[in-house]
Amino acid sequence: MRRISTVPFKGTKQQEQELSAWFEENRDMPGAALPALEKAQEIYGYLPIEVQEMVAKALDMPLAEVYGISTFYSMFSLYPKGDYQIRVCLGTACYVKGSGDIYENLKTKLGINGGECTPDGKFSLEACRCIGACGLAPVMMINDDVYGRLTVDALDGIIAKYK
């Protein structure tokens, strides 16, 4: 799954300036690579290889090392995300209440696998671990909206809101 994205890189000059400005301020921070990648993902939305190259250059690190870090942590995505990011909680509390079925069902409905994005760029789907709303289990999030006490039947109605 963790390949280099085939989607063409569409970074702007403005984004690049924002990232350079951060480097100006934080270049001497010990252990800067992780915060740098967090910042870069915040600016670009994901970490294409072009952005990782910028980070490697700015911190004077081998690209391999930067790639090693970006593929290690699950929060970093090497793919662009959809306009609406669907995250289904597969934490234990949600799982024992059936979130596995919810996740499988969404894969079929959207025609994509976990970690992927629909071809129109609208929805991306991923599993996540405990968002802490165990009282509402099973739970999913679409961007910042939380949907709790989910059933498979409710999914169509929820997805329709975003179409």
Backbone phi, psi, residue 79, to 5°: -105, 150
Structure token pair of residue 12: 């702007």
Contact call for residue 119 and other proteins (CB under 8 A): no
111 binds other proteins (CB under 8 A): no
146 binds other proteins (CB under 8 A): yes
Interface with other proteins (CB under 8 A), residue from 75, 119, 120, 161: 75
Query: According to the binding rule CB under 8 A, does residue 95 interact with other proteins?
Result: yes
Q: Is 139 in the site for other proteins (CB under 8 A)?
A: yes
Q: What is the distance between the alpha carbons of residues 49 and 25, in angstroms, rounded to a whole number?
A: 23
Question: Which position among 152, 158, 159, 162 is part of the footprint of other proteins (CB under 8 A)?
Answer: 152
Q: Residue 130 interacts with other proteins (CB under 8 A)?
A: yes
Q: Which of 43, 49, 134, 158 binds other proteins (CB under 8 A)?
A: 134
Minimum distance, C-beta of residue 74 to other proteins, in the bound complex (Å): 4
Nearest to 159 by CA among 75, 150, 115: 150
Task: Give yes or no for residue 153 binding other proteins (CB under 8 A).
Answer: yes
**How many binding residues for other proteins (CB under 8 A)?**
41
Which residues are near other proteins by CB under 8 A?
30-35, 37-38, 65, 68-69, 72-76, 90-97, 100, 108, 128-137, 139, 146, 148, 152-153
